[in-house]
Structure formats: C-alpha cells, structure tokens
C-alpha cells in the first residue's frame, strides 16, 4: 500500500512540470496564449524586448492563466514606459525654460553633444516602446510555464527552444534558461538613425518638438503637476541638470570608476522606481578581464513583491524572475538590472532603467541603491554534504556574481565590489526623488543624503 501511495505521489509530482520556452523571435501575446491554453499550461514569468532598444522581464509569485497574465503584464509595462518617457519630456521642459544649453554649446562641446544625443535617443526609445506595446506589438521571446503536457509544447512549431525541469535539484538552473533564448540583436543598444546622425541644431529642434507635442497632453500635464510642481522636484531636477551640463562643458579629465558617477532615482510613491541618467565619466577600474555591472535596489519584501523591469544598458539583463530567490537576504529583496559586458559602456552617455513593482502590505521600507562590479562567477550548490562548483560562462543573471578580486588590491581605486549610491526610505503615497554624484572616495552614501 505504501508503495502504491509513493508511486501516486511521484505521478502527481511529474504532472506539474516547469518548462522554459524560447520562441526565437518576438512573438505575439495571442499566439502564446493559444499555445499555452491548448497545452493546459499556466505561466509565471516572461522575458521581452522592445524593437526600439532595451527590454527585461516580468514575474509573478503565483502561476496564472495565460490570458490574465498577459493582460496584466501589458498594463505593468505600459505604466513603466509611460513614466519613463514623461520624465524625459520633463527634463527637456526644464532645460528649455531655464536656457541650460544653446545650439552653440552642442557644437562647441563634444562631451555635451554626446550626452544630449543620449537624452534624445532615450526619449524616443521610451516613447516608441510605449506606443508599440500599447498597440499590442509582439515583444515576448521566452516564458516560464508549468504544465502536465510537455509533449504538446515540445511538438508545437511556435517553440524553438525548450528546457524541461524534471529534477527539483536543478530548479535553480533550468528555470532561468530563457535568458539564453534572447535573439542576439535585441541585446544590442539601439540608436535611432535620425538621432545618431543629427546635427546640433537638429537635436535641439527635437527637444523643442517633444516639449511642444506634450503641451496639451493631459496625462503628461497631470504627471508634471504632481511630481514637479506640487512636490518640489522641479528645483532638484533643475540643479541636477545644470550641474551635469556644466560638467560636460568645462569638466576636468575624469578618472576611471566601475560605478556610475552620476544618476538619479525617482519613485512615484506607489509602484514605479526609475533610475535616470545613469552615466560614467570614464568606465573602468575593473578587477577582471570581462567585467559586468549591476544596479541593485534592496527593499523590504513586504513593501514590494512582483517585479517587471526594463533596461537599456548595452548587453542588458535584469533579474525579476530571480529576485528574492538567490540572495538569501531575509526580510529584504534585491531588484536588479545590469550589463553582461561593462566594456561596452560609453563614457558620458546617459543610460536608464526602471522597475514596476507590486505594492505589498507594508506602508514603509528603508532601501539602498547599490552599484556593483560583477563577473561570470561559478555556480556552487551543496550535494550529498559536499559543495560542487560549476564554471558559468553563459550570459544569465544566475551566473553574475560580485567580483571577489577587488579586496586588498593596490592597483584598484576602490577596494570593494559594491558601493551604496543612495540610502533612504520609501513611504506609501510619498513620491521620492534624489541624485548621486562623484563618489571618488569610494565611500557609501549617508542616510538620505
């Protein structure tokens, strides 16, 4: 009798199999929904890319019916991209209202021209991605599902790559295989040709047109009134932009750093955190030959839960499906994005990323924002009372660990592989905005600096 029960239990376990699917291209929601419904599959995570540059993933803690999952994921991504491109318009508006730069400045200062070209490209990336996703354009290239009919998925022409997790021991590895499935061209930084080749006067005109286009946009006006007029973020943003522009006009020769010298963190007070104008004066001071970089937001796991995110770093990655799983941080979770190849980072170029998070029950969380040098570290796990380590040369967040080679290394400027750029608190319904700058002494941020 016990043997029969054991066999039945094993059968039940086998019925609920986790499967990672790669489609080899950006695929429409409806095609994926029909496939998953036909194969009796539920879904928990998806990996996506925008044709206009960047991308990321989205993950829920529970398994969901496919149609409900995709409807919710579109809504979450739309909110993230909408806030991202509204923030770009707000920057342009402040620049013009305060005459922070002229066409002549762009023609005279190459570093400033590069910075502004990046600002304009970011704006088009966020805006075009927003409308593309709103119009239901195909964005998903991989999903993580659970089904009792693996053959149904495996035999479908829509599926190009498949990884089946039959063994609980390998759960930590196989469920993140979709990162291998990303079509190569979507990992590259996308430059709009009209922006890349624009002359200074054309770039300036693009900024003017973006502001003019949104003068009667009710959604943008509400965003601007809420976050810049009522909260007082206008002055913060003005001072930040003024300092950056002056630096790119007259700044001294920079020293290499693995962490970004300038950046901004913006929180809506509800569920979106944006990291804007993440830029390195001179990326470098690496401790390994093939370095990566990771931007980590660490907050209480009862304040934020599910995660959707986007990044436009070159060779980008993000970790929504792995958040709260691997770090072993107790009551805290790290929500991260980064680049597999930090050697591709351009000095003085503004990058960005955002996370759209589900709000938990807590009304308050302290947080820290970390900059970390990472590399393709070995994967280690305990098996039969012994530790086994496997080299991990692949591009997947599960492989990216903090570099241990900085400690006590006299040839490196900064002795630690992780630096706290910002430390403060988020409160429910209270928007937050702050910047960081020039931590050449490699010290951690003070509380709410």
- Is the separation of the CB atoms in 400 and 376 below 8 Å? yes
Calculate mean pLDDT across residues 316-334. Answer: 74
* pLDDT of amino acid 320: 84
Smallest CA-to-CA distance from 286 within 257, 312, 308 is with 257
- Is the separation of the CB atoms in 32 and 140 below 8 Å? yes
Calculate mean pLDDT across residues 20-29. Answer: 94
* pLDDT of amino acid 181: 81
- Is the separation of the CB atoms in 262 and 282 below 8 Å? no
Task: Give 180: exposed, middle or buried? Use CB within 10 Å, 0-12, 13-18, 19+.
Answer: middle
Whether the pLDDT of residue 10 is over 50: the answer is no
Structure-block tokens of residue 47: 């990996």
Q: DSSP for 415-433?
A: SSSEEEEEEEEEETTB-EE
Half-sphere exposure of 34 (CA within 13 A, CB side): 8
* pLDDT of amino acid 366: 95
- Is the separation of the CB atoms in 302 and 356 below 8 Å? no
Percent of the chain clearing pLDDT 90 (strictly above): 67
**Partners of 297 in beta bridges:** 335, 369
Q: How far is CA 44 from CA 1, 77, 144, 333, in A?
A: 36, 16, 6, 18
Percent of the chain clearing pLDDT 70 (strictly above): 91
What span, in angstroms and rounded, lies between the C-alpha atoms of 291 and 285? Answer: 10
Calculate mean pLDDT across residues 110-139. Answer: 97
Q: Phi-psi category of 272—alpha, beta or left, where left has phi over 0 and alpha has psi -120 to 50?
A: beta
Calculate mean pLDDT across residues 117-131. Answer: 97
**Partners of 424 in beta bridges:** 367
Whether the pLDDT of residue 203 is over 80: the answer is yes
Which H or E run includes 48? strand 41-49
* pLDDT of amino acid 29: 98
pLDDT category at 175 given cuts 50, 70, 90 is very low
* pLDDT of amino acid 405: 85
Smallest CA-to-CA distance from 339 within 315, 373, 323, 372 is with 315
Calculate mean pLDDT across residues 212-240. Answer: 95
Task: Give 74: exposed, middle or buried? Use CB within 10 Å, 0-12, 13-18, 19+.
Answer: middle
Spell out where 315-404 has E strands: 316-318, 332-339, 351-359, 364-376, 379-383, 386-390, 400-402
* pLDDT of amino acid 354: 94
Average confidence score pLDDT of the chain: 88
Whether the pLDDT of residue 386 is over 80: the answer is no
* pLDDT of amino acid 18: 87
pLDDT category at 197 given cuts 50, 70, 90 is very high
* pLDDT of amino acid 442: 86
Kindly report the CA angle at 89 between 85 and 92, in degrees rounded to 5? 140
- pLDDT tens profile 387-420: 777 767 778 787 888 888 888 788 898 888 899 9
pLDDT category at 172 given cuts 50, 70, 90 is very low
The pTM (predicted TM-score) of the whole model is 0.89
pLDDT category at 297 given cuts 50, 70, 90 is very high
pLDDT category at 381 given cuts 50, 70, 90 is low
Structure-block tokens of residue 190: 């996308």
Residues 6+ apart with CB under 8 A from 238: 94, 98
Of these ranges, 3-17, 149-163, 171-185, the one predicted with the greatest mean pLDDT is: 149-163
pLDDT category at 178 given cuts 50, 70, 90 is low
Helix axes 66-97, 233-250, angle to 10 degrees: 70
Whether the pLDDT of residue 155 is over 80: the answer is yes
What span, in angstroms and rounded, lies between the C-alpha atoms of 193 and 209? Answer: 17
Q: How far is CA 26 from CA 22, 186, 244, 262, 405, in A?
A: 10, 10, 37, 33, 38
Calculate mean pLDDT across residues 342-365. Answer: 93
- Is the separation of the CB atoms in 109 and 249 below 8 Å? yes
Quick one: DSSP state of residue 440? T
Residues 6+ apart with CB under 8 A from 215: none
Calculate mean pLDDT across residues 238-251. Answer: 93
- Is the separation of the CB atoms in 328 and 322 below 8 Å? no
- Is the separation of the CB atoms in 274 and 352 below 8 Å? yes
Structure-block tokens of residue 258: 């693995």
Calculate mean pLDDT across residues 335-341. Answer: 92
* pLDDT of amino acid 374: 94
**How, if at all, do strands 418-427 and 41-49 pair?**
unpaired
* pLDDT of amino acid 168: 52
């Amino acid at each position: 009798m016990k043997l029969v029960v054991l066999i039945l239990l094993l059968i039940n376990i086998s019925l609920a199999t986790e499967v990672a699917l790669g489609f080899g291209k950006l695929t429409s929601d409806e095609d994926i929904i029909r496939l998953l419904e036909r194969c009796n599959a539920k879904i928990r995570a998806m990996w996506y890319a925008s044709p206009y540059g960047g991308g990321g993933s989205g993950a829920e803690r529970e398994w969901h019916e496919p149609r409900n999952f995709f409807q919710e994921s579109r809504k979450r991504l739309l909110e993230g991209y909408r806030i991202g491109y509204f923030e770009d318009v707000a920057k342009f508006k402040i620049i013009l209202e305060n005459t922070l730069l002229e066409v002549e400045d762009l023609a005279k200062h190459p570093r400033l021209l590069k910075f502004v070209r990046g600002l304009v490209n970011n704006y088009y990336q966020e805006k075009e991605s927003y409308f593309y996703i709103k119009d239901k354009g195909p964005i998903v290239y991989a999903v993580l599902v659970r089904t009792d009919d693996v053959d149904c998925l495996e035999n479908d022409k829509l599926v190009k790559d498949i990884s089946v997790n039959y063994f609980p021991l390998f759960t930590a590895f196989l469920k993140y295989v979709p990162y291998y499935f990303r079509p190569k061209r979507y990992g590259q930084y996308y430059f709009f040709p009209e922006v890349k080749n624009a002359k200074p006067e054309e770039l300036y005109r693009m900024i003017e047109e973006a502001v003019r286009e949104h003068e009667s946009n009710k959604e943008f006006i509400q965003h601007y009134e809420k976050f810049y007029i009522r909260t007082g973020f206008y002055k913060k943003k003005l001072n930040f932009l003024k300092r950056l522009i002056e630096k790119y006009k007259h700044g001294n020769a920079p020293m290499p750093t693995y962490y970004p010298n300038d950046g901004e963190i913006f929180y809506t007070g509800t569920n979106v955190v944006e990291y804007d104008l993440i830029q390195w004066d001179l990326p470098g001071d690496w401790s390994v030959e093939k370095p990566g970089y990771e931007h980590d937001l660490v907050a209480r796991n009862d304040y934020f839960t599910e995660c959707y995110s986007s990044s436009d770093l070159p060779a980008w990655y993000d970790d929504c499906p792995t958040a709260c799983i691997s770090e072993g941080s107790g009551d805290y979770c790290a929500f991260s994005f980064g680049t597999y190849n930090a050697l591709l980072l351009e000095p003085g170029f503004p990058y960005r990323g955002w996370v759209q998070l589900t709000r938990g029950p807590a009304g308050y969380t302290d947080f820290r924002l970390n900059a970390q040098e990472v590399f393709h570290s070995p994967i280690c796990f305990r098996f039969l009372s012994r530790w086994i380590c496997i080299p991990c040369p692949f591009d997947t967040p599960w492989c990216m660990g903090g570099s241990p080679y900085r400690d006590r290394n006299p040839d490196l400027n900064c002795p630690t592989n992780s630096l706290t750029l910002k430390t403060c608190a988020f409160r429910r319904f209270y928007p937050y905005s702050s910047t960081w700058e020039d931590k050449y002494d490699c010290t951690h941020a003070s509380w709410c600096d």
